[in-house]
Amino acid sequence: MTRDELAAIYRDYIGCLNRRDWPALGQFVHEEVAHNARPLGLAGYRAMLERDVREIPDLQFHIEMLISDPPRIAARLRFDCTPAGTFLSLAVNGKRVSFCENVFYEFRDGRIRRVSSVIDKAAIEAQL
């Protein structure tokens, strides 16, 4: 797979998240996906995302930076959103916050197999 092809798949994955198109998630996410070393599997990964959007109803993923190097992707994602209650153990309670996530993905068979993510919790704290 070329760099551009993998980048296109990743952009489609982000589109899938932003549409809340959970039935399509399996096109992008491997059955055996692990997130920060937790072996969630596809069902657990979907549950994590569904919880995220329950806690943050206006959650949208914006790609600020994207590096494609098959089978890996690195992305800097930006969020401008209003977590309804507690998020990352912080009492955000409906305040609008802006923060980044720097995240690496490893693909297998064209789907996300491993996610190594760090969310900028300190940036959110600074806005509360």
- The Cα-based distances of 121 to 54, 70, 77 in angstroms read 19, 29, 14
Binding string to a second copy for residues 70 to 109, with x set by CB under 8 A, is what?
A: --x-x-x-----------xx----------xxxxx-----
Give the x-and-dash track for 36-75 against a second copy (CB under 8 A): -----------------------------x-xxx--x-x-
Least distance (Å) between residue 52 CB and a second copy: 15
Nearest residue to 40 via CA among 112, 107, 118: 112
- For a second copy, which is the closer residue by CB, 111 or 114? 114
